[in-house]
């Protein structure tokens, strides 16, 4: 296998590993409530 093929295989493996890691990662939902007051002038009529 030449160098270009080896680089393509390594990059594809890293991308696959990254996708598997992101799909298995249990990211917690935000727990802080956000409260923002919007003035009446900014709302559409």
Longest dimension (CA), the chain: 67
What is the pTM for the complete model shown? 0.56
% pLDDT > 70, the chain: 96
Q: What is the pLDDT of residues 6-45, one digit of tens each?
A: 999 999 999 999 999 999 999 888 889 889 898 888 788 7
Q: How many residues are recorded in the chain?
A: 45
- Cα separations (Å) of 43 from 15, 33, 34? 44, 22, 19
Q: Residue 8: CA atoms inside 13 Å, Cβ hemisphere, count?
A: 5
Q: Is the pLDDT of residue 1 over 80?
A: no
């Amino acid at each position: 296998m030449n160098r270009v093929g080896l680089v393509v295989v390594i990059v594809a493996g890293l991308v696959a590993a990254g996708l598997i890691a992101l799909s298995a990662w249990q990211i917690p939902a935000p727990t802080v409530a956000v409260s923002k007051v919007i003035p009446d002038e900014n709302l559409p009529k």
